[in-house]
């Protein structure tokens, strides 16, 4: 008499390994896209935008022999230009590229100049009216935090872009020659 053949039920080792590998790939893609490993898209976007706008200001400064400045605020920044006739800094009229920029609600700046943390204001400073100014006291004169010279050189700085609801930080470092680099999280 013949024994009835038994069919094996269950999964083979190869089938289980393939499923585990597929699950691992899906989890890693989801984790990277959500930024759980410090790869925060909003911080990177703001860093890229700041670097690009700074390069535009450097190009404009060199091509037009103008001096620009950047005023950094807690949650934004603006570009200003030096008016040599009025001997003061002023807004850049009609320039939509170098306009006042606000950061997303949960992102803030921290600025370091020469290794020292600078206390940033929440709102942009107001400019003096040269017609009503009685003296040029050094404490009353507006000056931006970062300068972009007509030679293309800039003020050396370290600018940290921080997510306020967490410990995500992205650091920008600019040197005197005008190059700006985005540092990885372990470099700052």
pLDDT digits (tens, 9 = 90+) for 21-42: 999 999 888 877 665 444 478 8
Residue 142 domain-assigned (yes or no): yes
pLDDT score for 28: 85
| Domain at 64, CATH number | 3.55.40.10
Count Cβ atoms within 10 A of the Cβ of residue 97 and give its class: 0-12 exposed, 13-18 middle, 19 or more buried.
exposed
Range of the domain at 106: 41-183
Domain count, the chain: 1
Residue 23 domain-assigned (yes or no): no
Nearest to 41 by CA among 164, 167, 181, 170: 170
Coil, strand or helix: which one is 30? Answer: helix
Residue 34 domain-assigned (yes or no): no
Residue 7 domain-assigned (yes or no): no
Tens digits of per-residue pLDDT, 92-134?
A: 988 899 999 999 988 999 999 999 999 999 999 887 665 555 5
Residue 2 domain-assigned (yes or no): no
Residue 165 domain-assigned (yes or no): yes
Residue 97 domain-assigned (yes or no): yes
Tens digits of per-residue pLDDT, 6-18?
A: 666 777 888 889 9
């Amino acid at each position: 008499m013949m024994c009835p053949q038994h069919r094996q039920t269950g999964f083979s080792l190869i089938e289980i390994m393939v499923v585990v590998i597929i699950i691992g790939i899906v989890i890693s893609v989801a984790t990277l896209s959500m930024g759980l490993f410090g790869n925060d898209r909003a911080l990177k976007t703001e860093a890229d935008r700041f670097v690009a706008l700074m390069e535009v200001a450097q190009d404009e400064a060199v091509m037009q022999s103008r001096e620009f400045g950047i005023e950094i605020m807690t949650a934004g920044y603006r570009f200003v230009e030096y008016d040599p006739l009025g001997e003061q800094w002023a807004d850049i009229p009609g320039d939509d590229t170098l306009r006042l920029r606000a950061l997303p609600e949960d992102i803030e700046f921290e600025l370091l100049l020469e290794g020292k943390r600078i206390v940033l204001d929440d709102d942009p400073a107001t400019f003096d009216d040269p017609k009503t100014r009685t003296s040029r006291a050094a404490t009353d004169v507006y000056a931006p935090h970062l300068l972009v010279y007509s030679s293309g050189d800039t003020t050396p700085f370290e600018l940290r872009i921080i997510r306020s609801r967490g410990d995500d930080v992205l650091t920008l470092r600019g040197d005197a020659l005008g190059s700006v680099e985005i540092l990885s999280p372990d470099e700052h």
